[in-house]
């Protein structure tokens, strides 16, 4: 009986898959966060969403925050690589690890966002993430992806 339970649990793990995120730049997104499939977009609740992140930066550091259009999709190997489009929003000298967007974004639109730190006259690279996803018959990986989100549809 014990053996059957172990086999069932291992089978369930393989059926459900596994995704591992590695965050770069000392920044980990809290809201919007990353869903279990890495590249998909979490829908925020407003056109002026609040973003929150964890940071390992010193308390004397400040943050730069940016939002980019997703841009175009280009074929890359066996999958699709999404290129970062033009910057749409930028805020500098934030003292807290959160920011509420001050202008409305477009409804039902995909965006990338990221944060970087400014400490002792040094500016870090924009924070990104790597991910690895395994399923029973397939796997995928991505490197240096900015964080992503989608704005809600607005019914008139």
Residues, the chain, total?
A: 156
Of the spans 57-61, 92-96, 122-126, 151-155, which averages the highest pLDDT? 92-96
What is the C-alpha separation between 66 and 39, in angstroms, rounded? 18
Total-model pTM: 0.74
pLDDT in tens, 50-92: 999 999 889 899 999 999 988 765 554 445 556 677 889 999 9
Confidence of residue 150 (pLDDT cuts 50, 70, 90): very high
Confidence of residue 100 (pLDDT cuts 50, 70, 90): very high
With residue 3 as reference, give the H or E element that holds it: helix 2-16
pLDDT reported for residue 28: 86
117-85-145-135 Cα dihedral, nearest 10 degrees: 160
- What's the mean pLDDT when you consider all of the chain? 78
Nearest one of 13, 38, 29 to 67, comparing CA atoms = 29
C-beta separation of 87 from 111 below 8 A? no
Question: In the chain, what are the domains?
Answer: 19-150 (2.60.40)
Residue range 137-143: mean pLDDT, rounded: 60
pLDDT in tens, 28-41: 888 897 654 444 67
């Amino acid at each position: 009986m014990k053996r059957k339970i172990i086999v069932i649990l291992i089978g369930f793990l393989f059926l459900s898959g596994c995704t591992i995120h590695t965050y770069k730049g000392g920044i980990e997104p809290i809201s919007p966060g990353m869903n279990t499939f890495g590249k998909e977009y979490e829908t925020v609740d407003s056109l002026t969403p609040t973003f929150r992140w964890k940071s390992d930066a010193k308390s004397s550091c400040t943050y730069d925050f940016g939002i980019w259009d997703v841009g175009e999709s280009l074929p890359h190997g066996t999958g699709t690589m999404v290129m970062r489009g033009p910057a749409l929003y930028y805020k500098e000298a934030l003292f807290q690890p959160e920011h509420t967007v001050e202008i409305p974004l477009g409804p039902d639109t995909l965006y990338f966002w990221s944060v970087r730190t400014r400490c002792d006259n040094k500016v870090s690279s924009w924070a990104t993430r790597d991910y690895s996803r395994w399923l029973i018959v397939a796997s995928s990986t991505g490197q240096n992806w900015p964080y992503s989100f989608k704005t809600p549809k607005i019914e008139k």
